[in-house]
């Protein structure tokens, strides 16, 4: 299984700003010594030595994940604005010739998880085929409704790829192209479903948009099978600890410390913090990761097995 993250931002697309760019350039230039820019190779080495927030950007596109099975079958999770860029890439494959076939899974239909669909070029190409799954009974109507004429000039039916919709039984599992896919209900306004994928003894869990508050923690063992022993879990950590327990209770998201606690409890091997707050700058995201690592070190003995990373656009995970 190979997983690529195309959109990692929550709530609303968050383009990098001109002022932010200038600030970053100022910092990078002011930190450089003559030795750092003495040659092309020195510049590369210097850039590699900088914190992620200075040498790159975590990205501003909303949720979209590409999963490739061992047989290279394509499964797309959610259609936030990252879907536009995944679409551009796969247009260079069979999808550009109208021979493409993919599965799409939707966690829920908040805007940040569907707003890339009208700009997903492979949907416009006759001959491409998409099987679209979700546990929501009215998934077809929800996707269509985004493209009624008052919202967008092209109706879903005028995107000429074949799109077949399938409703998944809630909290069930099914086998698709040799991958076992389990869906699990998450606490989130309007509802949301996480997915667990298992293939060739490896497991990947994706829980975007979930709030594990006090009530949920009381029932945490009902999530044991879903998270249990996952090789990688991509987990909603939009909020800071203060937001999740004081300022934004019941807003539907979790924090890095909650993600770490749950991952530790269920022996997840690698946790990837996800669904970044649109208010968070790249620098703030560096801090989110370093705070998460500090939290890990506060109970090193119990948490030492867990590896923690933070999602960025273009991140690839191979299992
Ligand atoms: Zn979201
Ligand atoms: Zn949501």
Query: Is the CB of residue 27 less than 8 Å from the CB of residue 51?
Result: no
The rounded Å distance from CA 188 to ligand 1 centre is 9
> How many whole angstroms from 125 Cα to the centroid of ligand 2?
29
Percent helix, percent strand, percent coil in the chain, to nearest 5: 35, 25, 40
Q: Answer whether residue 261 is part of any domain.
A: yes
Domain contains 31: no
Cα(99) to ligand 2 centroid in Å equals: 32
Report the pLDDT value the prediction gives residue 305, as an integer from 0 to 100.
Answer: 86
Distance between CA atoms of residues 63 and 83, nearest Å = 8
Domain that holds residue 130: 2-13+57-318
pLDDT above 70 (res 242) = no
Q: Which pair of tokens denotes residue 122?
A: 């492979």
Residue 286 lies in a domain: yes
Would you say residue 39 lies in a domain? no
Residue 270 falls within a domain, yes or no?
A: yes
Q: Which of 52-66, 154-168, 241-255 has the lowest mean pLDDT?
A: 241-255
Distance 59 CA to ligand 1 centre (A): 15
The reported pLDDT for the residue numbered 45 is: 98
68 pLDDT more than 60: yes
Whether 296 and 306 have beta carbons less than 8 Å apart is answered as: yes
Domain count, the chain: 1
pLDDT of residue 282: 96
245 C-alpha to center of ligand 1: Å? 19
Q: For 142-153, what is the mean pLDDT? A: 97
Residue 228: inside a domain: yes
235 versus 248: the higher-pLDDT residue is 235
Whether residue 247 is contained in a domain is answered as: yes
Reading the block at residue 128, the tokens are 């491409």
Q: What is the pLDDT of residue 222?
A: 94
Average pLDDT over residues 78-98: 98
Q: How confident is the model at residue 185 (pLDDT cuts 50, 70, 90)?
A: very high
Nearest alpha-carbon partner for 211 in 249, 266, 263? 249
The pLDDT score that the predictor gives to residue 77 is: 98
pLDDT at site 243 = 62
The band of 247, judged by pLDDT with boundaries at 50, 70 and 90, is: low
Can you tell me the distance from the alpha carbon of 15 to that of 32, in angstroms, rounded to the nearest whole number?
A: 26
Higher-scoring residue by pLDDT: 43, 251 = 43
Distance 88 CA to ligand 1 centre (A): 22
Give whole-number Cα distances, 11 to 61, 152, 202, 267, 309, in Å: 10, 20, 30, 29, 21
Report CA(107)–ligand 2 centroid distance (Å).
9
How many degrees, rounded to 5, is the angle at CA 30 between CA 27 and CA 33?
A: 130
The mean pLDDT value for 205-212 works out to: 91
Report residues near ion ligand 2: CB below 5 Å: 110, 209
pLDDT confidence band for 249 (50 / 70 / 90): low
Task: Please determine, for residue 245, whether its predicted confidence score (pLDDT) is greater than 60.
Answer: no
Question: Residue 239's pLDDT band (boundaries 50, 70, 90)?
Answer: confident
Say if residues 9 and 60 touch (Cβ distance below 8 Å). yes
Q: Is residue 102 part of a domain?
A: yes
Q: Which residue has the higher pLDDT, 240 or 310?
A: 310
pLDDT of residue 219: 85
Mean pLDDT of the chain: 94
Contact 82, 64 (CB under 8 A): yes
Task: Indicate the pLDDT class of residue 299, thresholds 50, 70 and 90.
Answer: confident
For 64-89, b/e burial (b = at least 16 CB within 10 A) is bbbbebeeeebbbbbbbbbbbbbbee
pLDDT at 264 over 70: yes
Q: Would you mind telling me the total number of residues written for the chain in this entry?
A: 319
Q: What is the CATH number of the domain that holds 286?
A: 3.60.15.10
Q: Is the dihedral of CA 216, 222, 223, 224 positive or negative?
A: positive
Across the range 12-41, mean pLDDT stands at 96
């Amino acid at each position: 299984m190979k997983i690529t993250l195309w959109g990692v931002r929550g709530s609303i697309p968050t383009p990098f700003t001109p002022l932010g760019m200038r600030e970053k350039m100022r910092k990078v230039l002011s930190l450089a010594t003559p030795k750092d820019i003495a040659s092309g190779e020195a510049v590369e080495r210097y850039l590699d030595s900088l914190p992620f927030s200075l040498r790159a950007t975590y990205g501003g596109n909303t949720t979209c994940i590409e999963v490739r099975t061992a047989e290279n079958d394509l499964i797309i999770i959610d259609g936030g604005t990252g879907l536009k860029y995944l679409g551009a890439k796969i247009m260079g494959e069979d999808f550009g010739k109208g021979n493409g076939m993919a599965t799409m899974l939707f966690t829920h239909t908040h805007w940040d998880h569907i707003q890339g669909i009208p700009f997903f070029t492979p949907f416009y190409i006759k001959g491409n085929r998409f099987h679209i799954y979700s546990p929501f009974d009215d998934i077809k109507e929800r996707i269509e409704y985004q493209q009624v004429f008052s919202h967008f000039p092209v109706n879903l039916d005028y995107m000429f790829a074949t799109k077949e919709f399938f409703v998944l039984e809630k909290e069930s599992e099914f086998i698709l192209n040799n991958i076992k896919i389990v869906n699990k209900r998450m606490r989130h306004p309007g509802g949301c479903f996480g997915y667990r994928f298992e293939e060739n003894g490896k497991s990947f869990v994706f829980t975007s948009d979930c709030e594990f508050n006090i009530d949920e923690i009381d029932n945490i063992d009902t999530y044991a099978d879903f998270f249990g022993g996952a090789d990688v879990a991509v987990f909603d950590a939009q909020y800071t600890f203060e937001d999740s327990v004081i300022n934004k209770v019941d807003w539907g998201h979790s924090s890095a410390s909650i993600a770490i606690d749950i991952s530790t409890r269920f022996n997840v091997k690698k946790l990837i913090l996800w669904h970044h707050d649109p208010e968070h700058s790249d620098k703030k995201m560096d801090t989110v990761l370093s705070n998460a690592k500090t939290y890990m070190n506060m109970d090193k003995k119990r948490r030492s097995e867990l590896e923690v990373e933070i999602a960025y656009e273009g991140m690839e995970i191979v299992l």
